[in-house]
Amino acid sequence: MTPEELIKKIKERFEVETHISQTKTPYPRKRIWIGVDRENFKSLMKCLQEIDPHAQFSIIIGEDRGDYLSATYHLELFCEEEPSLSVAVTTTCPKESPKIPSLGDVFPSSVPYERENQEFLGIVFEGIPDPRRLFLPDDFPEGVYPLRLDETGITPEMVKNAGHPYKVKKEGSQ
C-alpha cells in the first residue's frame, strides 16, 4: 500500500487533515501525517490496526501548544509489496478539558508513554489501564506539570541541582 492509498482509505471513513513528508536520512522515506479530532481519535487508531494487524506503536510526542495540548502517536505499518509506512497521528485537547482516550487496549505498548505525558503535560488518558506516575515522585505536587508552558508548569523555585556534577551559576556569579 502506498502512502496515497492509505490516506484515501482513511479519508473514506474519517474527516482528517493529512500530508506526506519525506525524511532526510541516508535512506529517505515518506511519512504520513494525520490530524484527527479527539472524538474520532480512537476509532481511527483502531482502523489503522484493522488495516495492518501487525502495526507497531513507537512513541507519543506530547506538546504544550499554547491554548491546547497535542499528542502525536508514531506508528509503523507493514505492507506486503511496499516498504513499511511511517504514520504519525496527532490529536489535540483544550487545556480546560485535557482528555484524550487511552489506546492501552489497542496498542498496549502505548501505556508507559501515556503515563509519561499524563504526568508531565497533564493530559488525562481516559481508560488508561495503569494511571500511576512513571517518573515523578509520589510527593510531587498535584496539578504541576513540568513540561507545561503556562501557570501549571514548574516554577524556578522548584528547580534543583539534583546532584548534577556541574554547578549551576547564579546570576552575577562567576
pLDDT category at 166 given cuts 50, 70, 90 is very low
Residue 173 lies in a domain: no
CATH number at residue 94: 3.30.460.80
Residue 119 lies in a domain: yes
* pLDDT computed for residue 120 by the predictor: 96
Would you say residue 170 has pLDDT above 60?
no
pLDDT category at 154 given cuts 50, 70, 90 is confident
Total domains, the chain: 1
pLDDT category at 158 given cuts 50, 70, 90 is confident
pLDDT in tens, 4-22: 989 999 999 999 999 999 8
Would you say residue 140 has pLDDT above 80?
yes
Residue 168 lies in a domain: no
Domain hosting 89: range is 3-158
Q: Rounded to 10 degrees, what is the CA torsion of 137, 140, 145, 147?
A: -50
**Who wins on pLDDT, 13 or 170?**
13
Q: Is 148 exposed, middle or buried (0-12, 13-18, 19+ CB in 10 A)?
A: middle
Q: What is the mean pLDDT of residues 150-161?
A: 78
Q: What is the pTM of this model?
A: 0.86
Residue 83 lies in a domain: yes
**Who wins on pLDDT, 123 or 30?**
123
Residue 68 lies in a domain: yes
Q: What is the mean pLDDT of residues 101-129?
A: 96
Residue 56 lies in a domain: yes
Residue 167 lies in a domain: no
Amino acid at 67: D
| Helix intervals (H) in 12-156 | 38-51, 111-121
**Who wins on pLDDT, 5 or 29?**
5
